[in-house]
Amino acid sequence: MIDRSDALALDAADPLARWRDEFVIPDPDLIYLDGNSLGRTPKRTVEALHRVIDEWSGDLITSWWEHDWLHLALTVGDELAPLLGAGPGEVAVHESTTVGIFQQVNVALDLVPGRRVIAIDDADFPTDRYAVEGIARLRGGEIRHGLDDLAGVDVVLRSLVDYRTAEVADLVGETARASDAGATTVWDLSHAAGVLELNLPDAGVELAVGCTYKFLNGGPGAPAFVYVSRSIQHEVTQPIWGWFAQSDQFAMERPFDPRSGIGRMLNGTPPVLGLTAAREGIRVTVEAGITAVAAKARLITGFCIDLADEFGLATDTPRDPARRGGHVAVRHPDARHLHEALVDHNVVVDYRDPDVLRFGLSPLTTSFADVFDAMSALARLVDRA
């Protein structure tokens, strides 16, 4: 029988507990379990945004050079890189995840002349599915639905962490399986970045993309990241040609000649305010240490699953800690109404059609007591229903 004192004991032993104070938490009674969709606001982000607004106001256009705004997409990428096991010059932070997917799938198709078949799971996140349909339409490509049989497939787009169940795919094994079939995999790391320990080069990953506004606490609409392995950068042609990717950006009249390195993935003027917020969120996770963050994710999701079992709630989130991300999916036929009822109890989780409640347990901002209180509230509501 788990009781609240167990949660308090886990909080007392939590080496990351102090990081919660690094975040703006105006209502301490609100149990926010949606940091897997939109992470909380780091206090340092508020200061950093004020600072950049002062730069903008005072130094105006010279800020592009004086405050190095010009290179922000790449310097923020270099700060994010260690969270992916990547090196400097392998990550750029810019645009939305959807645009990043569009770029990366096109890059993968263009790596080998004649490529046109893209495989994706029908249960993958909608933007991923829509993006590949749009690409197939533009290029006269073909979509293969499902990933079991990769014969004849050129490019695979897939999420590392299932957005519904939190199941983690086998990064090494599945990258190799696709490669053996002659395909390049583009990994969507949106639900993995900032919560799982990753080493993309060791896993043989060449192309990846992901959000910074979820576990990385980068802020609403924070720009996404694209990773291109150094080993293939010289072969990469991306589809959105813009002046930030030009080898001599201010030469102006020259024909397009892409920069060497990750800079060739850039498009137009970077979103400086969004990048500033993304950078602070990334720094918080880097400083807290991804090994500790990932360890707490395994522990706190395990605690949530134990509570689901105890309260008789159904979950299809994997029980093997190594195979799950940072959220727990509870299934209930009345999930939509339970989601609303939880809000009345000061508990914010999210709902995914048709029957999933996602408990996002962002390790830096979620306490074990939060999980106990939220699951107890859900259990009471289910009993009453």
Hey, which residues are catalytic here? 125, 188, 213-214, 358
DSSP code at position 223 = P
DSSP SS3 for 141 = coil
Say how far apart CA 148 and CA 150 lie, in whole Å.
Answer: 6
Question: In whole angstroms, how close is the CB of 59 to ligand PLP at the nearest point?
Answer: 30
Q: Are 118 and 135 in contact (CB under 8 A)?
A: yes
- φ/ψ of 240, rounded to 5, equals -110, 95
**Residue tagged 């060791």 (tokens):** 202
DSSP SS3 for 145 = strand
Q: Percentages helix, strand, coil for the chain, rounded to the nearest 5? A: 45, 15, 40
Could you list the residues that contact ligand PLP (CB under 6 A)? 96-98, 125, 127-128, 159, 163, 188, 190-191, 211, 224
Comparison of 33 and 377: residue with beta carbon closer to ligand PLP: 33
Q: Are 183 and 154 in contact (CB under 8 A)?
A: yes
Question: In whole angstroms, how close is the CB of 143 to ligand PLP at the nearest point?
Answer: 17
Comparison of 190 and 233: residue with beta carbon closer to ligand PLP: 190
Comparison of 55 and 350: residue with beta carbon closer to ligand PLP: 350
Comparison of 311 and 351: residue with beta carbon closer to ligand PLP: 351
Say how far apart CA 176 and CA 316 lie, in whole Å.
Answer: 27
Comparison of 187 and 303: residue with beta carbon closer to ligand PLP: 187
117's enclosing H/E stretch is strand 117-120
Comparison of 170 and 287: residue with beta carbon closer to ligand PLP: 170
Say how far apart CA 66 and CA 136 lie, in whole Å.
Answer: 43
**Residue tagged 């249960």 (tokens):** 123
Cβ atoms < 10 Å from Cβ of 75: 16
92's enclosing H/E stretch is strand 91-93
DSSP SS3 for 228 = strand
